[in-house]
Amino acid sequence: MAPKSRAGVRTVPIVAALRDHLLHWKLASDETRYVFGARGRPFAESSVYERARRAWTRTNEKREKDERPLLDPIGLHEARHVFASVLIAAGVNAKAISFYMGHSSIAITYDLYGHLMPGSEDETRELVDAYLDRASTAARLAQLDGGRQERRER
């Protein structure tokens, strides 16, 4: 299936924690074309979800009966949101996140994930106050220095 847009074909970073798992999978697989797929064809979302659901079920079955399940199954769409959330928490800039997510505009990224971006009203107020204090101090010093300069010229 072809991507919906040019943004559908992109390079995304593979973090070290995932790289080792993918390398292990690749070495153990006879698959030559796709990282996820079977018999030379790309993966089907339903089969990926079903394999993941079985793995979650096996993991949860190992827990004590009174313990809450360790993992709740998620699909690929939820995995995209997790990816974006991790990028934001790690401090990746919004433009890079927009590219990695394949959004056609950074506005889409802000609309979807802006509530996760760092910053609050208190932080905004503190940043603006500090900026204005620096600007006011610089202006006052320039005025004082300018007054001294005028006296020296007389």
Sorted by sequence, the CB contacts under 8 Å of residue 82 that are 6+ apart come out as 74
Query: In this model, does residue 31 exceed pLDDT 70?
Result: no
Query: In this model, does residue 94 exceed pLDDT 90?
Result: yes
Model pLDDT, residue 106: 94
Please check whether residue 43 is in contact with residue 36, taking contact to mean a CB–CB distance below 8 angstroms.
yes
What is the distance between the alpha carbons of residues 80 and 86, in angstroms, rounded to a whole number? 10
Domain spans, the chain: 11-116, 119-154
Judging by beta carbons within 10 Å of its beta carbon (0-12, 13-18, 19+), is residue 72 exposed, middle or buried? Answer: exposed
Dihedral angle over CA of 73, 77, 79, 82, nearest 10: -120
Model pLDDT, residue 8: 74
Model pLDDT, residue 70: 67
Q: For 59-79, how does the pLDDT look when each residue is reduced to its tens digit (9 = 90+)?
A: 878 776 667 766 677 878 888
Query: In this model, does residue 85 exceed pLDDT 90?
Result: yes
Task: Return mean pLDDT, the chain.
Answer: 80
Please check whether residue 114 is in contact with residue 88, taking contact to mean a CB–CB distance below 8 angstroms.
no
Residue type at position 25: W
For the question of whether the overall pTM of this predicted structure is more than 0.75, the answer is no
Q: Stretch 30-50: mean pLDDT, rounded?
A: 71
Band the pLDDT of 143: cuts 50, 70, 90. Answer: confident
